[in-house]
Amino acid sequence: MRQIWKLKNSLRGQLTLWFGGLSLAILLGVGAYVGRIATGELAQFGGVSLYVSAQSAAALLTTNLREREQEIELLARSALLTQGRLNAENVRRALELRKGAHKEYAWLGIAEPSGRIIQATSGLLLNEQVTQRPWFQAGRHRPFMGDIHEAVLLAKRLPSPTANQPLRFIDFAAPVLDDNGQLKGVLGAHAHWSWVTDTVESVMADHAIRQQIEVLIADKSGNILYPYHHAGQLQLPERRQPLAHFERLRWRDGGDYLTSTVAVHSVTNQDLGWRIVLRQPVEVSLAPVEALRNRLLLLGLGAALLFTAMAYYFATRVSRPIEQLVRAARRIEQRDGTPVYPGDEHAKEIRLLSRSFQSMTASLLQREKELSELNATLEGQVAERTQALHQANQELARLATIDALTGLHNRRWFDEKLHEHHGSLLRQGRPFALLVIDADYFKRINDTHGHGVGDAVLRQLARLLLQSVRATDFVARFGGEEFVVLLPDVSLAHEGLRVAEKIRSTVEGSIFQTVLNVTVSIGLGLSDASDTHPTAVFLRADRGLYLAKEQGRNRVVLVKD
What's the rounded Cα separation, in Å, for the pair 90 and 76? 14
What's the rounded Cα separation, in Å, for the pair 409 and 75? 33
Contacts of 483 (CB under 8 A, 6+ apart): 408, 436, 437, 438, 461, 462, 465, 475, 476, 477
As a whole number of Å, the CA-based R_g of the chain is 38
Helical segments of 400-449, H only: 411-428, 442-449
Phi, psi of 149 (to 5 degrees): -150, 155
What's the rounded Cα separation, in Å, for the pair 402 and 443? 24
Active site (annotated) includes residue 283 = no
DSSP β-bridge partners for residue 474: 486
Residue 405, classed as helix, strand or coil, is coil
The one catalytic residue in 481, 501, 508, 550 is 481
User: For residue 7, what is the enclosing H or E element?
Assistant: helix 2-9
Q: Do 519 and 552 touch, CB atoms closer than 8 A?
A: no
Residue 463, classed as helix, strand or coil, is helix
How big is the CA angle at 11 (ends 6 and 12), to the nearest 5 degrees?
A: 80
Residue 509, classed as helix, strand or coil, is coil
DSSP 121: G
AA identity, residue 350: I
User: For residue 63, what is the enclosing H or E element?
Assistant: helix 11-77
What amino acid positions are annotated as catalytic residues? 481
